[in-house]
């Protein structure tokens, strides 16, 4: 169950990613999901804080986009993630 968290949608070129930084029963975790391919680019990874998770997810997304087509990560608009 999710205690709290944020997510951001990134659509650039033909890519659509969803970034997460969430606190749940396992602790605070960051992850990046490829919406089009329906797979995890970066599965849940433990971090210390929601803010650190946002930075880690953005770093993974930025690296993926650069590799996928030399695409730039746009500025992120974080919103409250699904919650309990």
Picking from 26, 27, 53, 51, the residue whose alpha carbon sits closest to that of residue 42 is 53
pLDDT at 84: 45
Tokens of 81: 């993630």
Q: Where are the domains of the chain?
A: 2-71
Angle (nearest 5°) at CA 58 between 84 and 34: 70
What does the pLDDT read at residue 83?
A: 52
Decide which of 2 and 46 is more confident. Answer: 46
């Amino acid at each position: 169950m999710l205690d709290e968290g944020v997510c951001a949608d990134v659509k650039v070129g033909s890519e659509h990613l969803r970034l997460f930084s969430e606190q749940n029963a396992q602790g605070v975790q960051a992850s990046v999901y490829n919406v089009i391919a329906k797979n995890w680019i970066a599965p849940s990874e433990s971090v210390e804080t929601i803010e650190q998770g946002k930075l880690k997810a953005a770093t993974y997304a930025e690296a993926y986009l650069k590799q996928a087509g030399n695409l730039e990560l746009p500025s992120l608009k974080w919103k409250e993630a699904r919650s309990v």
